[in-house]
Amino acid sequence: MAGKTRREAGIALAAALLALVLLGALAAASGLLALRDRRLAGQMQALDRAKLAADRGAYEAVVRWDRELNHLPPGDSLGFGGLGGQGSGYAGSVTRLSDRLFMVRSEGSVPRWGARSEVLLLAGVDPPRPGVAAALTSVAGSVAVGPRADISGMDRPFDTGPCGLPVEPVAGVRVLEPSALTLACPDTACVSGAPPVLVDGAMAPEDALPFGLEWDELVALADVRLPPGSWRLAAAEAEGRCDRTVVSNWGAPGSDGPCGWYRPVIHATGPVTLLGGAGQGVLLMDGPLLVTGGVRFDGVVVARGPISSSGSGGRILGGVLLAAPPGVWSRLDGFIRIHYSGCALGAAAGALAAGTPLARRSWVQRF
């Protein structure tokens, strides 16, 4: 009887030990499952944070549009990056596809979890309206046009061809009062447009400011700070890229090269003589400007001092906005040509454009 009791006790002990082992295995399995679930949940949360970081990067690349992008030739890119929340970050690039179309690639990541997500976004640009209503607008000071000058409000395309539909003709010269203009040519032969001369007594100082910006706002956008002196314009390249450190490099009008898309805002702080060459963009003059040597400029000239020309003069394709001090004369002698151009004005405005997402089908989640 005692032996039977000992056998039963041994069986009970074995069963108890087996139960303990099974319970331990179940507890371990439950712990592993819980750990796996936590890891899976962490990975899913990290992936969500990576997606949010990628979206944030694409959004900020467009909302905080870098004006350097407006100077890139098609195919070139500019990188960006930043930090998101909870250990996430983003990095990417903006690539120019065409005149007004860009591809934004943004990759978000959470390095601790190895989570990554990438989005692609198509973005356009929204240029400001030029606000130029004549080939030459003078809101202050006086203008004397020589017999060999040619000032035209008839829309002129680029030399390489039209950039779109032609715009309606504008006035050749727009002045505040008749006494502010003298013509040395018979029957306005040196001035053309619709009309050739427009006397607009309602003009205000802001009519000499383009793009809806104040003077100080325009100056703050300057890409080139030009000291007083005489300059011959020429595009400059370094290692296959446009060298924007050269102050006499104002882009290359009509070129497919690296500087063909460079249309800077230039602020000249004193008297400047342009001796020749070619440039494009927006020229802000804080002093007198002399145009000579057959210089070519495509864009907008905004002058708070007098403009004069002599000899072979030059050509301004776009428009001139003049606000010289009262009683100061701008004398356009020699072979100076000022031709209104919607193409040139639009290109200059494009250099100041801000980014904007396309309205439809502009976004895709790659992973």
d(CA 212, CA 217): 10
Token representation of residue 126? 């929204």
Ranges 4-8, 53-57, 158-162: which has the least confidence: 4-8
d(CA 335, CA 268): 23
d(CA 218, CA 204): 18
Say if residue 42's pLDDT is above 70.
no
Q: Within 10 Å of residue 1's Cβ, how many Cβ atoms?
A: 4
pLDDT at 204: 93
pLDDT at 87: 85
Please confirm whether the linkage preceding 264 is cis (ω < 30° from 0): no
Say if residue 176's pLDDT is above 90.
yes
Ranges 216-220, 303-307, 324-328: which has the least confidence: 324-328
pLDDT at 189: 87
pLDDT at 32: 64
* Chain segment 310-336, per-residue pLDDT in tens: 999 999 999 999 999 888 999 999 999
- pLDDT mean across residues, the chain: 89
Ranges 34-43, 68-77, 81-90, 97-106: which has the least confidence: 34-43
Q: How are beta strands 150-152 and 191-192 bridged, if at all?
A: parallel
* pLDDT band at 25; cut points 50, 70, 90: low
d(CA 273, CA 290): 5
Give me the mean pLDDT over the 192-205 stretch: 95
pLDDT at 6: 60
Classify burial at 257, counting beta carbons within 10 Å of its beta carbon; exposed 0-12, middle 13-18, buried 19 or more.
middle
State which amino acid sits at residue 59: Y
Say if residue 17's pLDDT is above 90.
no
Where b means 16+ CB within 10 Å and e means fewer, 194-207 reads: ebbbbbbeebeeeb
Classify burial at 282, counting beta carbons within 10 Å of its beta carbon; exposed 0-12, middle 13-18, buried 19 or more.
buried
Give me the mean pLDDT over the 99-119 stretch: 91
Q: Spell out the alpha helix ranges (H) of 244-286.
A: none
pTM to 2 decimals? 0.86
Say if residue 294's pLDDT is above 60.
yes
Tokens 């003009």 -> residue: 203
* Chain segment 127-148, per-residue pLDDT in tens: 999 999 999 999 999 999 999 9
3-state helix, strand, coil in the chain (%, to 5): 25, 35, 40
d(CA 45, CA 212): 46
